[in-house]
Amino acid sequence: MVRLDMRNGAYLVADPARPTIQELIRVDAVVTRLVRLPLREAFETSFGRIDSRLILLVSVEGHGRTGWGEVVAAEEPLYSYETTGTAAHIIRDYLAPAMLARPITGLDDLAGRFAPFKGHNIAKAGLELAYLDLAAQMAGTSLASTIGGTRPRVPVGVSLGIQPAISALIERVDRYLDLGYQRIKLKIKPGWDLEVVAQVRRRHPDILLSVDANAAYTLQDLPHLKRLDEFGLLMIEQPLDHDDLLDHAALQKELRTPVCLDESITTPRRAEQALRLGSCRMINIKIGRVGGYSQALAIHDLCHQREIPVWCGGMLESGIGRAHNLALASLPGFTLPGDISASSRYFARDLIVPEVTVSADGTVEVPTGPGLGIKVDTDYVASRTESTERFTRQS
Ligand code: NPQ
Ligand code: MG
């Protein structure tokens, strides 16, 4: 039986059968680093286009070890209101002091300290990730097994940005299918939707195909969106506004294609309300968007109990965030392919060794070593770091 217990606005880890962390973690220092990685090619969505990824890395030091996390916010508040700048501020002034105040007894303890600060989920998640890597290292177990993950490998798909021409998109669809990716997701917007989907579907009648609008439509577009039903899509992701559950419920009633919510699901309570309203039939879980493992686990457990499929979303993470996504996606409820591509899909060189690779069957291995189970390439991180801040315990 899954509980959704609240304390200070944060949900407690929901499944009582889940292993809990026994180690008392005393964090000596929290370090943030701004790192810029060039993208191998520009990534365009309905809200904008980027050529490089500015990443806020977080590390926590304690017990002679270092745990690593990643703040997945973008530079501009277009996907969500958070940015690398707002996250740096919230971590500096509120979250790092709360984390350093006293030893941490577990995930619920840390989530409870962050909960009084409203929102800023992506900032909170960055610290939770780093904490959990350190806690799992201390326990000598992999991060995946620490949270109750069961899959040794996870199925993955690729998200393909808006292109200058359909021919460029088709070329990429073919390339990633050849590499084994199990699902193709097309970014869409008004003017880059029906014709694009029709051509890809005609060429590949049987693949798992989905679309993601990143909130580019309104309910007035209902007749237009209904035409997507004929393409047998796995889902249409976040067609309407980022915080609108009611209009999504109205839309889902009129569509055969399952609606999947991304931006709209910011807390376990919002997930529960979306399911109660019928706003979606699937949920994309991003650890950042929901405020860390504690909340992601609660949403996973809620959906698993109700047989709602979930999958792991992506935020163009470096290998550090990518490795955390692998741990999350190893949970039993993650039945659909995640947006967890190979490092090389986005970057010429990643921040970790070995890099994340996708095998020919479209799966990625979940690391089994202690903690994240990958090595951070600290020399390469240093060479890419634009600025660093270090926060330490007062006593
Ligand atoms: C999504 N990601 O599922 C997001 C959107 C997204 C892989 O499609 C910088 C930081 C740029 C975060 C572009 C994918 C981003 C970003 C797109 C997130 O909706
Ligand atoms: Mg999305």
Nearest ligand, CA 42: 1
Residue type, 353: V
Query: Which residue in this structure is represented by tokens 């610290």?
Result: 127
158-160 sheet: strands from edge to edge: 158-160, 183-187, 208-212, 235-237, 259-261, 282-285, 310-312
Residues 6+ apart with CB under 8 A from 259: 235, 236, 237, 239, 248, 251, 252, 279, 280, 281, 282
CA distances (Å), origin 44, targets 79, 162, 164, 181, 389: 12, 5, 10, 20, 31
Angle ∠(59,91,379) on CA atoms, nearest 5: 25
- Expressed in angstroms and rounded, the spacing between residue 73 Cα and the centre of ligand 1 is 9
d(CA 315, CA 322): 9
Instruction: Name the token pair of 234.
Output: 């796995």
Of 37, 41, 45, 237, the one to substitute when testing ligand 1's pocket (max ligand atoms within 8 A of C-beta) is 45
Residue pLDDT tens, the chain, 395 long: 345 555 545 555 556 677 788 889 999 999 999 999 999 999 999 999 999 999 999 999 999 999 999 999 999 999 999 999 999 999 999 999 999 999 999 999 999 999 999 999 999 999 999 999 999 999 999 999 999 999 999 999 999 999 999 999 999 999 999 999 999 999 999 999 999 999 999 999 999 999 999 999 999 999 999 999 999 999 999 999 999 999 999 999 999 999 999 999 999 999 999 999 999 999 999 999 999 999 999 999 999 999 999 999 999 999 999 999 999 999 999 999 999 999 999 999 999 999 999 999 999 999 999 999 999 999 999 999 999 999 999 76
Its pTM stands at 0.96
Concerning whether 124 is annotated as a catalytic residue, the answer is: no
Quick one: which atom of ligand 1 is closest to the CA of 73? 10
Catalytic residue among 124, 187, 189, 375: 187
d(CA 304, CA 54): 34
- Expressed in angstroms and rounded, the spacing between residue 79 Cα and the centre of ligand 2 is 9
- Within a 10 A sphere around the Cβ of 37, how many other Cβ atoms? 19
- Give the per-residue pLDDT at 19: 76
Closest CA to 40 of 320, 319, 315, 345: 345
- Give the per-residue pLDDT at 13: 52
Residue type, 124: K
Residues 6+ apart with CB under 8 A from 189: 45, 46, 162, 213, 214, 216
The answer to whether residues 213 and 46 touch, using CB atoms and an 8 Å cutoff, is: yes
Closest CA to 373 of 198, 80, 149, 195: 149
Tens of pLDDT, residue by residue over 23-43, are 899 999 999 999 999 999 999
Concerning whether 187 is annotated as a catalytic residue, the answer is: yes
